[in-house]
Structure 1
């Protein structure tokens, strides 16, 4: 018996980036503020002999770099798909976030190493200049945080930038606390000690960014998408015998894509089944880009599948 099978695509292939012009403007302004103060803090930290300030300046350098990457990723995401990259350039945002996470990791390791050296070879710290620079840094970081926090927090790069700035805020608070302790007690080890605390917080932020960006780069299922629910919803459609070879991934965490095979009865209209399935995916799961293949028998074209009606492996 011949089995008709169709390979159809949803025509609403919206690959436009979710990054808004407002988010790009916020990132650009934050980058200018961060880069400008980073230079001042590095000079001040070197003159005051404060590792806490130098560590915060290093983090702010990482921030400036990451914000620049995020801005470049936004612009790359605006580029239209071409013959070499048919999905466009949105995935560059995820790659930039991964690099940001690695940069944070490197900064944290450097702070730990420098702090250990300071414990073995103490350095006198000028508490007055350290306090003034740290307070100014806190104000700048608060401004940058407010600018970025008003943007699209669903975007991986913008969210990563906010995490960077939160680390900077904690670094400024640590520097203020260290300067205060030195002014009141003269106990110099507080400077590298609080630097190590800041490094631990930076490591935590780096882990979050690396974990999420790596998951996306490995074509992992986007957060909030329940594969079992999708399969159940499609199998409940009248005329569908089974679902197999189901894959869900994303160009970015907020842009899910789906492909699967639908096994249907021979007496069912394939266009009607496709229309119902696409509508359900869009309405119930927010998936607007899907590739569905209709089959009269399971596994006509191979793939990762099981018998009709059973739970398919994925």
Structure 2
């Protein structure tokens, strides 16, 4: 009987976990409907913004164009990520969703820089702004963006690319609210700098949303552990399972949003059943830590290693990565 078990598994429950709760077809329908709403409104907003001289409306029209692009990127990424693995792409193209989220985040940051520059320039040299076209268009924009946000909100926002598109829409909604306030202020007081101030408020919101998208997608690209997951806690829990002597070379990462994966080298006491230990550890990872995509190399530890008191890791791996996890010492009786 072999003393080695090196098995990749994916439990049914965990596999269902990264088949997201909302069907992909429904996600696409929601995003497509939101896209149609936005494109129809962009043309109206550009015309009114140019005629009224409103930076808030022109900036928001550009932001809405980025919203539409964000939704297009999300739809393309959903198509690509659904393709089955083939050739050298052993996970398929699932990270296309993360690329979409990163593009959306960077777009928000670049737009924010431009509108900060233009907003400051207009604070120094305020142009003439007509308040009523700004107010009317902004109120219509609020209605359109509320409808679009509700549509995208029905999709699976645990996917970063969909969350990226949602953040674009949500920031655009805030922008319209700011533009409406600016239009009202201009109408009532003639204070035209209110338009530029509204654009700066929108830019600040863009920076926040863009930074969060770039940060979260960057974690996936850098193969960091999923947010809220502590590999040290997982390693200690694995090491405390019956028959386990040590766990090392532990890696936890996300293939894409909601698709965590884990690999590790598990050493089992001499004479232990490697397959039983592997199944037990897999159950722990799936049920307690919600990780179903696992690759575990399970070996018997050499008896001589225990006799001479050598470090188990050194006996098996010349280049082990990360800390070794061993069972907690038994407390006093």
Name the TM-score, length of structure 2 as normaliser.
0.88
Structure 1 unaligned runs (5+)?
none
Matched, 1:141 2:158: no
- Distance in structure 2 (CA, Å) of the matches to 1:118 and 1:308: 60
Helix, strand or coil at the partner of 1:251: strand
Structure 2 unaligned runs (5+)?
302-311, 329-333
Contact persistence 1:257–1:289 (CA under 8 A): yes
- Distance in structure 2 (CA, Å) of the matches to 1:88 and 1:191: 47
- Distance in structure 1 (CA, Å) of the matches to 2:226 and 2:109: 24
Q: Structure 1 33/59 Cα, relative in aligned 2: closer, same or farther at 3 Å?
A: same
Structure 1 residues 68-77 or 298-307, which shifts more?
A: 298-307
Matched, 1:157 2:161: yes
- Distance in structure 2 (CA, Å) of the matches to 1:287 and 1:183: 57
What RMSD in Å do the two structures reach over aligned CA positions?
2.0
Which of 304, 309, 313 is the matching residue for 2:326?
309
- Distance in structure 2 (CA, Å) of the matches to 1:284 and 1:307: 21
Matched, 1:60 2:77: no
Residue aligning to 2:97: 93
Residue aligning to 1:241: 245
CA shift digits 1:102-143 (9 cap, x unpaired): 000111111111112212332111212211111111110010
- Cα offset, 1:33, TM superposition: 1.1
Residue aligning to 1:5: 4
CA shift digits 1:214-240 (9 cap, x unpaired): 111100110232322311221121110
- Cα offset, 1:12, TM superposition: 4.6
Contact persistence 1:138–1:172 (CA under 8 A): yes
Helix, strand or coil at the partner of 1:230: helix
Matched, 1:127 2:131: yes
Which of 21, 24, 42 is the matching residue for 2:28?
24
Which of 299, 302, 318 is the matching residue for 1:295?
299
CA shift digits 1:132-155 (9 cap, x unpaired): 111111110010111111221211
Structure 1 residues 16-25 or 168-177, which shifts more?
A: 16-25
Residue aligning to 2:85: 81
- Distance in structure 1 (CA, Å) of the matches to 2:83 and 2:122: 48
Name the TM-score, length of structure 1 as normaliser.
0.93
Residue aligning to 2:309: none
- Distance in structure 2 (CA, Å) of the matches to 1:81 and 1:307: 33
- Distance in structure 1 (CA, Å) of the matches to 2:142 and 2:107: 22
- Distance in structure 2 (CA, Å) of the matches to 1:255 and 1:203: 27
Contact persistence 1:223–1:253 (CA under 8 A): no
- Distance in structure 2 (CA, Å) of the matches to 1:308 and 1:168: 48
Matched, 1:104 2:108: yes
Contact persistence 1:17–1:78 (CA under 8 A): no
Residue aligning to 1:178: 182
